[in-house]
């Protein structure tokens, strides 16, 4: 019988950490989840998926090389999924130093420990479509030139290049998944779709008058977190390490998402207030990717129905907000 594999997931308390854990548990992995600081919030999303008790949580500051080294030498994971990050573009404009510092040094620490001490450990890095900025030609593919336009995007571009360097120069099995926006009922409220749905449901229930939003005349490629985490695992099972774009393959105006949510809940769109102070300093107008490489080389599949994700998120919110 094959030995049970161990996966170490940083950012276990986040949306993707929870869904990836669920997926890997179904594949019979032992899972160690890393958090900066343990509290009841750490396991909120795992609890919602009913898997809290199946995961071993460890506290570790990924910026502290010595304690990270100690933990990794002790656990010797077969696979590391690095999902921890300051992951909000908006917040990164307020906290550029903290964002760039954490999102780059944490990756370097992990890669360096693998290079020196754990040559058989495979590494997945959560890269982002934000790295591309405004591009001349759509769809974006794995060869599109990086043009990051926020502190978050710069931090992700830098760590993305480190993953490539460690793969090509040090032969570490390191992969980047370049994920476009993906959502689920586990999404936090500081992200557009969840903020929109929470606000709309609160209006529906008479708990709030209006909903203040930023620029709706931009387009993004949105997908389903549950399907996207499967690609992370597939990358680390491939014969050789590589980078892959994971996306739906088409973009949607934020205004169309707002219309769908308000129509679904049958509420008046006059309750939306556009506040220009929410507009980003450097806004990407339209972005979508090509998922052909992942489909061809990983056999990853995606059926591209974002409205069904929105419906689930609205129904969940209707149950949660009273
Ligand atoms: P998330 O829900 O924000 O979770 C990320 C986790 O990272 C948090 O639960 C937190 O865990 C840790 N973290 C947050 N802020 C931090 C900070 N300032 N310093 C250190 N750790 C911090 O993210 P996600 O949506 O699951 O996404 C997972 C990864 O994919 C992230 O790296 C994100 O940047 C990337 N990504 C996401 C999307 C998307 O659409 N969701 C798209 C492209 C790329 P603890 O507090 O427990 O330590």
pLDDT tens for each residue of 140-149? 999 999 999 9
CA trace torsion 72, 77, 79, 82 (10° rounding): -30
**Arithmetic mean of pLDDT, 271-293:** 89
The verdict on 32 and 138 lying in the same domain is: yes
Say whether pLDDT at 304 is over 80: no
192 lines ligand 1 (CB under 6 A): no
- Identify the pLDDT of residue 3: 84
Residue with tokens 């343990």: 38
Q: Relative to the CA of 225, which ligand 1 atom is closest?
A: 41
Instruction: Please tell me which of 272-276, 277-281, 314-318 the model is most confident about, judged by mean pLDDT.
Output: 314-318
Are the beta carbons of 182 and 224 closer than 8 angstroms? Answer: yes
131 lines ligand 1 (CB under 6 A): no
- Identify the pLDDT of residue 283: 78
Q: Is residue 1 part of a domain?
A: no
- Number of structural domains found in the chain: 2
33 lines ligand 1 (CB under 6 A): no
Q: Relative to the CA of 152, which ligand 1 atom is closest?
A: 34
Rounded to 10°, the helix 192-204/254-265 angle is 30
181 lines ligand 1 (CB under 6 A): yes
**Arithmetic mean of pLDDT, 101-114:** 98
Instruction: Band the pLDDT of 25: cuts 50, 70, 90.
Output: very high
The verdict on 116 and 228 lying in the same domain is: yes
- Identify the pLDDT of residue 23: 98
What is the distance, to the nearest Å, from the Cα of residue 186 to the centroid of all Cα atoms in its chain? 11
Q: Relative to the CA of 182, which ligand 1 atom is closest?
A: 40
The verdict on 79 and 214 lying in the same domain is: no
Domain, as residue range, for 150? 6-183+223-249+291-298
* pLDDT > 70 fraction of the chain, expressed in percent and rounded: 99
The verdict on 122 and 197 lying in the same domain is: no
Say whether pLDDT at 1 is over 70: no
- Identify the pLDDT of residue 160: 98
The verdict on 150 and 207 lying in the same domain is: no
């Amino acid at each position: 019988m094959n030995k049970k594999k161990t996966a170490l997931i940083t950012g276990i308390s986040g949306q993707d950490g929870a869904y990836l854990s669920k997926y890997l548990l179904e594949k019979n992995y032992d899972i160690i989840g890393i958090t900066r600081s343990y509290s009841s919030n750490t396991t909120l999303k795992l609890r919602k998926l009913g898997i809290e008790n199946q995961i071993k949580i460890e506290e570790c500051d990924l910026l502290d090389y010595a304690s990270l080294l100690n933990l990794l030498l002790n656990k010797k994971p077969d696979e590391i999924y690095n999902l921890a990050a300051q992951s909000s573009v908006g917040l990164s404009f307020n906290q550029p130093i903290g964002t760039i510092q954490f999102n780059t040094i944490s990756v370097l620490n992990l890669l360096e420990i693998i290079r020196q001490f754990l040559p058989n450990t495979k590494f997945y890095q959560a890269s982002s479509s934000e790295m591309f900025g405004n591009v001349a030609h759509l769809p974006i593919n794995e060869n599109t030139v990086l043009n990051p336009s926020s502190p978050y995007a710069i931090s992700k571009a830098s760590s993305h290049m480190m993953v490539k360097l460690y793969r090509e120069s040090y032969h570490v099995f390191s992969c980047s998944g370049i994920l476009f926006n993906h959502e689920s009922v586990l999404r936090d409220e500081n992200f557009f779709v969840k903020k929109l749905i929470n606000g709309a449901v609160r209006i529906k229930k008479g708990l709030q008058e209006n909903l203040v939003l930023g620029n709706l005349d931009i387009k993004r490629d949105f997908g389903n977190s549950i399907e996207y985490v499967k690609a992370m695992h597939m990358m680390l099972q491939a014969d050789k390490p590589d980078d892959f774009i994971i996306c739906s393959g088409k973009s949607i105006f934020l205004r169309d998402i707002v219309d769908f949510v308000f129509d679904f809940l049958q509420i008046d769109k006059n309750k939306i207030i556009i506040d220009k102070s929410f507009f980003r300093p450097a806004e990407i107008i339209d972005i979508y990717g090509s998922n052909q490489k992942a489909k061809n080389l990983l056999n990853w599949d995606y059926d591209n129905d974002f409205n069904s994700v929105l419906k689930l998120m609205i129904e969940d919110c209707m149950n949660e907000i009273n």
